[in-house]
Amino acid sequence: MTTFQNQKTPNIQILAISGSLRASSSNARLLQAAALLAPKEVKINLYQNLGELPHFNPGLDDFNISAVLDFRNQLKNSHAVIISSPEYAHGVPGTLKNALDWIVGSGELVEKPIALFNTSARSTFAQASLKETISVMLGRIVEEASITLPFIDKNLDANEIAANPEIARLLKGAIDALLRSIDSAS
Ligand SMILES: Cc1cc2nc3c(=O)[nH]c(=O)nc-3n(C[C@H](O)[C@H](O)[C@H](O)COP(=O)(O)O)c2cc1C
């Protein structure tokens, strides 16, 4: 797990999951930018092991697979979750859906505040499908924290994305909305 943080003693933990395994993923860079813009008491941790999870098999659910246990623990230890995912062939990337399938039975998303970020206005199918899957898992999608971002230039790193005033405004607004939803739940 990589931590992108701008503070010393954070006490709110947010797990950020990129649905893309691409090394220079725009979704991952966007989540890193969000971490840079988060208030000092908030730590946004980027989940690193999406591609390490085995294919979901309900028959192996009780087998204490370490990558699965680690994923579940990271979720358990987080107050909220942000998912930023590309769309592939009008659907949710298989690796992300696979990760969600591993936590249907164990229930780490139940009542968890969740923000969905979207880096493309035309990617509507994956967002709708993610919403449906998370809702049936009883995750609490925070609409005010779920945003569609303007085009993310592939040449920009996380610092440069965070320095874009329009993107920073949207990201800060989404983080604030997510934090309010954590407050209202506690
Ligand atoms: C195989 C493939 C299929 C794709 N299918 C869609 C699609 O159905 N709808 C869409 O809006 N974008 C589609 N895209 C574009 C990706 O969603 C887009 O490039 C995304 O920004 C990649 O995210 P990343 O930079 O985090 O890897 C597809 C890309 C690939 C490689």
Cβ–ligand 1 distance for 74 under 6 Å, the answer: no
Q: What is the 3-state secondary structure (H, E, C) of the chain?
A: CEEECCCCCCCEEEEEEECCCCCCCHHHHHHHHHHHHCCCCEEEEECCCHHHCCCCCHHHCCCCCHHHHHHHHHHHCCCEEEEECCCECCECCHHHHHHHHCCCCCCCCCCCEEEEEECCCCCHHHHHHHHHHHHHCCCEECHHHCEECCCCCCCCCHHHHHCCHHHHHHHHHHHHHHHHHHHHHC
Cβ–ligand 1 distance for 90 under 6 Å, the answer: yes
Residue 1 has pLDDT above 70, yes or no: no
pLDDT digits over 149-171, tens only? 988 888 999 999 999 999 999 99
Going from N- to C-terminal start, the domains of the chain cover 2-185
In this prediction, residue 61 carries a pLDDT of: 82
pLDDT digits over 106-138, tens only? 999 999 999 999 999 999 999 999 999 999 999
Cβ–ligand 1 distance for 120 under 6 Å, the answer: yes
Q: What's the gap in Å between 89 CA and the centre of ligand 1?
A: 8
- For domain 2-185, is the CATH number 2.50.20.10? no
